[in-house]
Structure formats: structure tokens, C-alpha cells
Amino acid sequence: MSTLPLIFRGDRIRALVVGGGEVALHKVHKLREVGAHITIISQDVHPDIRALAKEHRSVRLLERLYCTGDTRLRRHHDPKKVAFNLVIAATDDPTTNEAISAECQADGIPVNIVDVPELCTVYFAAVVRDEPLQLSISTEGEAPFLARHLKHELHDFAERWAPRVRWGSTFRRWVKEHVSEFSQREAMYDRFLAVSDSELAAWDSANPPHDLWQTWAAELNR
């Protein structure tokens, strides 16, 4: 199986979660972490899901059985558009899971059927996040427990590189403004990567080392 990793903006996700147990709760937490808008459909609802729906406007709970066509519900403010661009089924009913998967695939809606890889078009990755750095690990739904283990292994790596990623944004903007030649820009990026972690830690985000960067740029023109 070949997969294509993509990064979605969380605040643009409108997710339907079918199921109301602990697995569904786990998925809801993941979605809330990135600012998604979530609708949950389930007749049996975990108390924590009910509490989230009461506390957060971005979480809507429909306490009923899933019905055919629920993945095609329309937006209240714009009935011409479907309400969801991601569907997750966390039920223990194979018939319901198969129906949800078929319906979503027919309409081109990304769908994740928990623990049934063959019915999925997307998988949840284990994520190590230290903004703006994000590392995603996937076993294509085959061994998620290994992905969770690797997530812990990568925490130190992310912690070390996240400050450099944060500085990288500021540095890249400066280079684009002050260095015109492509080859010189690449050389500037190499200089940035060669800076030691301790030196980078001494830089002040409120007062970026523009003089140092200007010196690097001048040296390239000699």
C-alpha cells in the first residue's frame, strides 16, 4: 500500500464522528487540539463527550443512531454545501462502518474507520508537536501501537529542533528580502544550519542578529 502524507489546517476541518465511547472521545480530543469543528452522532454517549458538547460551541452532539445519509448533512448557513470534510467512525458495528465508508468514498469525503484499515481512505498519524515543528508517524493503520512508541522516541529530537524551526521563519524572510541570488540564498541557509544549538539559544527573538546575518551575506560577495 502506498500513502500520501498531507498536513491539514485544523481550523478548516469540519468533522463528523460517529460513535460515543472512549475511542470516539480520544478522536474528539485529537480534533479539538487543532481547532476542528466537530459533530458527534451516537445514541450512547460517554459523559466526557456530553460535557465537551456543553462547554464548547465547536462541539455539537446529536444523541441518536446514525442514519444513512448523515455524512451528507448540509451546513445550516449554506445548504448548498456539505457539512463535513472528514468523517470518523468509531463504532463496533461492522455494517454501520461499511455503510459510512461506502457513502464517504462515493462522495469523495476523507474517512477513517477506527481499527479497520481496509475501509479507510485516511489514517491518523502519531504526532510529535512543538510548534511550529510537527513530526507525523504512520504505520498505515497496521500497527498504531508502534507509532505511539516512536512518538515518545522522537520527543527529544523535536525539542532540540523546534527552536531552530522558529528562527528559520524569521531568517528565511530576512534572506528573501536581502539576498537575491538563489545560490547565495542556499549558502545562507547552510550557514544558518551550521550555527550551534548554544549559539542559537543566545539569539534574542525581540532583537534578531541582523548584523551577523548581514556579515554572512557580505562574505558571500567577496
pLDDT digits (tens, 9 = 90+) for 39-69: 999 999 999 999 999 999 999 999 999 999 9
Domain boundary among 124, 145, 179: 124
In this structure, how many other beta carbons lie within 10 angstroms of the beta carbon of residue 102?
13
Q: Does position 80 have pLDDT exceeding 80, yes or no?
A: no
Q: Is residue 132 part of a domain?
A: no
Q: Do residues 167 and 61 both lie within one domain?
A: no
Same domain, 45 and 95: yes
Q: What's the pLDDT score for residue 217?
A: 93
pLDDT at 7: 87
pLDDT digits (tens, 9 = 90+) for 21-32: 999 999 999 999
Residue 31 sits in the same domain as residue 102:
yes
One domain, residues 19 and 72: yes
Is the pTM of the predicted complex or chain greater than 0.85? no
Stretch among 17-31, 62-76, 102-116 having the lowest mean pLDDT: 62-76
- 25 and 89, same domain (yes or no): yes
180 in any annotated domain: yes
Q: What pLDDT band is residue 1 in, cutting at 50, 70 and 90?
A: low
Residue that terminates a domain, selected from 69, 102, 124: 124
* Residue numbers of the domain that contains 169: 157-220
Q: Please tell me whether residues 175 and 84 are part of one structural domain.
A: no
CA distances 82 to 31, 41, 65, 185, Å, are 19, 16, 20, 44
pLDDT, tens digit (0-9, with 9 covering 90-100), for 161-216: 999 999 999 999 999 999 999 999 999 999 999 999 999 999 999 999 999 999 99
- Residue 216 maps to a domain: yes
CA 52 – CA 48 distance, rounded (Å):
6
Instruction: Please report the pLDDT score of residue 90 as a whole number.
Output: 96
Number of domains in the chain: 2
Do residues 120 and 16 share a domain?
A: yes
Domain match, 103 and 188 both: no
CATH of residue 38 = 3.40.50.720
